[in-house]
Amino acid sequence: MTAAALAAQPRPLESIESVVIRFCGDSGDGMQLAGTQFTNVSAVFGNDVSTLPDFPAEIRAPAGSLAGVSGYQLCFSSHEIYTPGDEVDTLVAMNPAALKTNLGDLHSGGTLIVNEDAFDKSSLAKAQYSTNPLADSRITSNYRVHNVPMTRLTRDAVEGLGLSQREADRCKNFFALGLVYWLYDRDPEPTRHWIRDKFAKKPQFAEANLRALQAGINYGDSTEAFAVHYRVPPAKLAPGRYRKITGNEALALAMATAPRLTGKDVFYAGYPITPASDILHQLSELKNFGVKTFQAEDEIAAVTSAIGAAFGGAIAVTGSSGPGIALKGEGIGLAVMTELPLVIIDVQRGGPSTGLPTKTEQSDLLLASFGRNGDCPLPILAAQSPGDCFTMMLEALRIAVGFMTPVFLLTDGYIANGAEPWAIPKLADLHPIPVHHPAEPPTNGDPFQPYLRDEHLVRPWAIPGTAGLEHRIGGIEKADVTGNICYDAENHQHMTRIRAQKVANVAAAIPPQPVDGPASGDLLVVSWGGTFGAVRTATTAARRQGQSVAHAHLRYLNPFPANLGEVLRSYRRVLVPELNTGQLRMLLRATFLVDAIGFNKVQGKPFLVAELVSAIRDALEA
């Protein structure tokens, strides 16, 4: 039963295609939870959804301060969407600081719902407002403002449950959520279910949150403040079973699947770092899936313990973010030199140094490519969306064990924490990843040759415990075939070339570069990583306006797909939008001598579709 059916005087229900909502408030206001719940009920209802959580770097920034504002934006739609939206339709602001930092993204005429109880003198001062913005005519005339006494109404709703005032106030996110549920005609049942589940051991908290949620729904329903409410019909996604997934979840699920695909245990080593820690958390729960996790003493120990595990025959993975990857550099070089399979996940964040720990950026491509001493090439892959993290994790493992090489998998804070609907695969439909360990020493009585290569230049993965295959490997240059230490000049040149050629050979084992749009024309937009959704939306929009624009999104960054050079030369111009100062562009120019132009943003935020559309226009006119 929808809330509308209960209304004494039903308000008109308008159908709209898609809506962007942002919940924002203090870190302690439960905005991430409200956003996640809204996403879940929308996904279960059948909308396409895309989310953008945004939280402060400081866990305990002073309450009410501008630094402590936490937000969660989501777009839900009746058609396929790739981004959480440029501009916000409905902004829920729980305090003055949240209003101040977020109002700029609400479009003119948009709906603004504020907790007016939080606009007292001290909160206004903490947000550096000298006068109450709710009385400011620039705000009241520009937006549809709803001042709701959420704190008071929530306290009233939970009265009699014996909660302290502090505990009562913690329920107001559910009040806000209930109100927005009413506004967008959402079914609150999945959230009720979640609350009962979550607070099963604390029934008074369950009851309080349920009451707050209902109070919010009732507020929308019974006050005349909202003239209409809206409905966003389900999207027409391909039939099948779906779940909501974040990029970090998808990585963990892929690693828990890998033992079944490889027949080997997975060893994951990490050190706590934002925004990669969730991978370690989630995998640590999956001990019955053939996954061993190790929280190492530092980033260097994380990568080197993974190398030790790989030597022992495990499917080894280490994950981190920029600063941690920088520390792992020497270890990654050891994996290149010893030619052991290893996947290094880099959940990129704003840099350099500590940079913007909770904000997204894609500025580690050159670090992954070149951030080691010596000529030290390795394959590099990048996931394009939360769900794609699953696919690319398995792909990275396939290449690592297939070519006996460390492989970089780049994701970013945006797809790591952002969520999208994901068509759930079946284990039986996933490709096995063949792993071979030689079991017998050479029959002719010769000693085992650890660097004797096959036709792809791949050496055997012989593991301890196999009699007759005892051998030593290490970081010192070695003679090909025997693996014995060798400083010989010619040998070093030979080995350097062999290591590079082996990585280049991966190009034959990856798909050709697909292009969305015309096969030749005025402009090719080339992107990689988490910008996929925004770039795909912008290029599609440009084509709809009659422009000759195609989109090539790279998931394989080293080696590049074999046909990429040809693709680049099929267009008059090449535009490379990136959330960095031009790293892929540099690689494309260097590799293909193509005069690619850049569109670059480093603000810790994803691209807006609108800014890409105008960058495309500029590139076409230039």
Q: Give the footprint of other proteins on residues 35-74 (CB under 8 A).
A: 40, 43-46
Which one of residues 177, 253, 280, 549 is an interface residue with other proteins (CB under 8 A)?
253
Residue 488 binds other proteins, judged by CB under 8 A: no
Q: Please list every residue from 262 through 281 that binds other proteins, using CB under 8 A.
A: 265, 267, 269
Q: At closest approach, how far in Å is the CB of 368 from other proteins?
A: 19
Which one of residues 316, 365, 506, 550 is an interface residue with other proteins (CB under 8 A)?
316
Structure tokens at 496: 């350097």
Residue 287 binds other proteins, judged by CB under 8 A: yes
Q: Are 550 and 515 in contact (CB under 8 A)?
A: yes
Which one of residues 18, 70, 78, 305 is an interface residue with other proteins (CB under 8 A)?
305
Angle 203-222/150-158 helices, nearest 10 degrees?
130
Amino acid at 112: L
Residue 471 binds other proteins, judged by CB under 8 A: yes
Residues 6+ apart with CB under 8 A from 87: 20, 105, 106, 107, 110, 610
Structure tokens at 145: 């403002």
Q: Which is nearer to other proteins, 309 or 550 (CB)?
A: 309
Residue 191 binds other proteins, judged by CB under 8 A: no
Residues 6+ apart with CB under 8 A from 109: 142, 143, 144
- Neighbouring C-beta atoms of residue 348, cutoff 10 Å: 30
Binding mask 336-375 for other proteins (x = CB under 8 A): --x-------------------------------------
By three-state DSSP, how is residue 327 classified?
Answer: helix
* Alpha-helical regions (H) of 130-188: 137-142, 150-158, 165-169, 172-183
Binding mask 419-438 for other proteins (x = CB under 8 A): -----xxxx-----------
In order, the DSSP letters of 247-274 are: HHHHHHHHHHHHHHHHSS-EEEEE---T
Which one of residues 18, 101, 257, 449 is an interface residue with other proteins (CB under 8 A)?
257
Residue 301 binds other proteins, judged by CB under 8 A: yes
Which one of residues 434, 464, 512, 514 is an interface residue with other proteins (CB under 8 A)?
464
Q: Which is nearer to other proteins, 93 or 303 (CB)?
A: 303
Q: Please list every residue from 436 through 455 that binds other proteins, using CB under 8 A.
A: 447
Q: At closest approach, how far in Å is the CB of 256 from other proteins?
A: 6
Q: Please list every residue from 145 through 164 that binds other proteins, using CB under 8 A.
A: none
Q: At closest approach, how far in Å is the CB of 36 from other proteins?
A: 9
Q: Which is nearer to other proteins, 464 or 512 (CB)?
A: 464
Q: At closest approach, how far in Å is the CB of 425 from other proteins?
A: 6
By three-state DSSP, how is residue 382 classified?
Answer: strand
Q: Which is nearer to other proteins, 350 or 483 (CB)?
A: 483
By three-state DSSP, how is residue 455 classified?
Answer: coil
Structure tokens at 567: 């693709």
Label residue 46 exposed, middle or buried (CB < 10 Å: 0-12, 13-18, 19+).
middle
Q: At closest approach, how far in Å is the CB of 440 from other proteins?
A: 12
Count of residues in contact with other proteins, rule CB under 8 A = 73
The torsion region of residue 379 among left (phi > 0), alpha (psi -120 to 50) and beta comes to beta
Which one of residues 73, 101, 123, 304 is an interface residue with other proteins (CB under 8 A)?
304
Q: Please list every residue from 161 through 190 that binds other proteins, using CB under 8 A.
A: 190
Q: Which is nearer to other proteins, 234 or 442 (CB)?
A: 234
- The window from 98-106, 159-167, 232-240, 362-370 that contacts other proteins (CB under 8 A) reads 232-240
Q: Are 332 and 373 in contact (CB under 8 A)?
A: no
Q: At closest approach, how far in Å is the CB of 21 from other proteins?
A: 18
Q: Which is nearer to other proteins, 330 or 566 (CB)?
A: 330
Residue 225 binds other proteins, judged by CB under 8 A: no
CA distance 371 to 378: 11
Q: Calculate the alpha carbon distances from 6 to 10, 104, 216, 537 in Å.
A: 8, 36, 14, 39
Which one of residues 180, 381, 469, 506 is an interface residue with other proteins (CB under 8 A)?
469
Q: Calculate the alpha carbon distances from 513 to 187, 346, 591 in Å.
A: 42, 23, 16
Which one of residues 286, 365, 382, 457 is an interface residue with other proteins (CB under 8 A)?
286
H or E stretch covering 621: helix 609-621
Phi, psi for 414 (deg, rounded to 5): -65, -50
- The window from 102-110, 152-160, 465-473, 555-563 that contacts other proteins (CB under 8 A) reads 465-473
Q: At closest approach, how far in Å is the CB of 374 from other proteins?
A: 13
Q: Which of 527, 196, 581 is nearest to 352 (CA)?
A: 581
The β-bridge relationship of strands 69-77 and 48-54 is antiparallel
Which one of residues 199, 230, 289, 592 is an interface residue with other proteins (CB under 8 A)?
289
Residue 307 binds other proteins, judged by CB under 8 A: yes
Rounded to a whole number of angstroms, the CA Rg of the chain reads 27
CA distance 607 to 531: 7
Q: Are 222 and 229 in contact (CB under 8 A)?
A: no
Residue 244 binds other proteins, judged by CB under 8 A: yes
Q: At closest approach, how far in Å is the CB of 194 from other proteins?
A: 9
Residues 6+ apart with CB under 8 A from 137: none
Which one of residues 63, 134, 139, 237 is an interface residue with other proteins (CB under 8 A)?
237
CA distance 254 to 343: 12
Residue 331 binds other proteins, judged by CB under 8 A: yes
Binding mask 567-606 for other proteins (x = CB under 8 A): ----------------------------------------
CA distance 368 to 364: 6
CA distance 347 to 363: 11
Q: Which is nearer to other proteins, 167 or 265 (CB)?
A: 265
- The window from 168-176, 256-264, 560-568, 586-594 that contacts other proteins (CB under 8 A) reads 256-264
